[in-house]
Amino acid sequence: MPDLGVRASVCARGGRKDLTMPGAIMFEFPDLFFTGLFLTVQLSVLGSIGALAAGTLIALFRISPIPPLRWVGVAYVEFFRNTPLLVQLFFLFLGLGALGFRFWTTDTFESIFRAGAAGMALYHGAYVAEVIRGGLLGVDKGQIEAARSLGLSYVQTLRYVQLPQTFRATIPPLGNIGIALIKNTSLASTIGVAELLQAAEIVESRTFRTEEAFGAVVLLYLVLTIPASLGVNWLERRLLVAR
């Protein structure tokens, strides 16, 4: 059995009897785990803001009366939705890096981080765009006519009538995307962002306490995602417009 070596090492230190409280290991390596957690949070927050901005813009392109904008919107969504996030991250950091583009910074770690955040924003932006587009199309035509008949321009009607209702109505699907984004930040470990998963890998390789190290990561992801879920539910209750 190939994993015999690992098992043997676990047994050598006394096996499961030695296991500490789930997650306790994170307090033994707080630098690694909590720095990693902080980077995961940063990636998630920046990625979400970027995804929301990119997705809203692309959705507006997709419903635009100007055909070239619509083509850009379709191309964006199809490109980023139909290639793996992992491949996009490799391309953003290694591919663009080979072309000399380092996200406006000479610091390698910063450059890696920015590539990771950009990847999160661009990829999830495609999903956000589809959700927002659906929301915009779901606003009753009569309201748009009413707004236009009051003298509001196309852009003002989007800004004050369609978008506010769209954001309220699409909170549940946007929340799903946000939570997926938090989890997908773990892929940024593959290009070298020292986020949670990578922190755990480092701890694991130093200590061989495999299940503890990755168990701690599981717990820390839940610490991020469960409050996020609750937050989405709360927002939904608060803001959903009754019709």
Partner 1 sequence: MPIIEFHDVHKWFGPLHVLNGIDLKVDEGEVVVVIGPSGSGKSTLIRTIDRLEPIQRGSLVVDGMPVHDPKADVNALRRRVGMVFQQFNLFPHLTAVENIMLAPRKVKGLNAAASRKRAQELLAKVGIPEKADQLPVRLSGGQQQRVAIARALAMDPKIMLFDEPTSALDAEMIREVLDVMRQLAQEGMTMVVVTHEIGFAREASDRVVFMDAGRIIEDSPTGEFFAGAREERARQFLSKVIHH
By the criterion CB under 8 A, which residues form the site for partner 1? 140, 142-143, 145-153, 156, 160-161, 164-165, 168, 241-243
Closest CA to 241 of 142, 156, 183, 163: 163
Nearest-approach distance from CB 156 to partner 1, in angstroms: 5
Nearest-approach distance from CB 230 to partner 1, in angstroms: 24
Closest to partner 1 by CB, 153 vs 233, is 153
Quick count: other Cβ atoms within 10 Å of Cβ 82? Answer: 8
Tell me if 40 sits within 8 A of 225, measured CB to CB. no
Nearest-approach distance from CB 166 to partner 1, in angstroms: 10
Nearest-approach distance from CB 153 to partner 1, in angstroms: 6
Between CA 121 and CA 55 the distance in angstroms is: 9
Closest to partner 1 by CB, 137 vs 146, is 146
Closest to partner 1 by CB, 4 vs 242, is 242
Q: What would the two tokens of residue 30 be?
A: 């707080």
Alpha carbon distance, N-terminus to C-terminus of the chain: 62
Closest to partner 1 by CB, 51 vs 139, is 139
Q: What angle do CA 43, 44, 49 make, to 5 degrees?
A: 100
Closest to partner 1 by CB, 36 vs 135, is 135
Nearest-approach distance from CB 142 to partner 1, in angstroms: 4
Closest to partner 1 by CB, 78 vs 140, is 140
Closest CA to 115 of 177, 46, 37, 198: 46
Between CA 181 and CA 41 the distance in angstroms is: 11
Nearest-approach distance from CB 56 to partner 1, in angstroms: 17
Nearest-approach distance from CB 54 to partner 1, in angstroms: 24
Between CA 51 and CA 85 the distance in angstroms is: 13
Closest to partner 1 by CB, 75 vs 150, is 150
Between CA 33 and CA 44 the distance in angstroms is: 16
Closest CA to 33 of 243, 223, 216, 173: 216
Between CA 187 and CA 44 the distance in angstroms is: 12
Between CA 136 and CA 167 the distance in angstroms is: 9
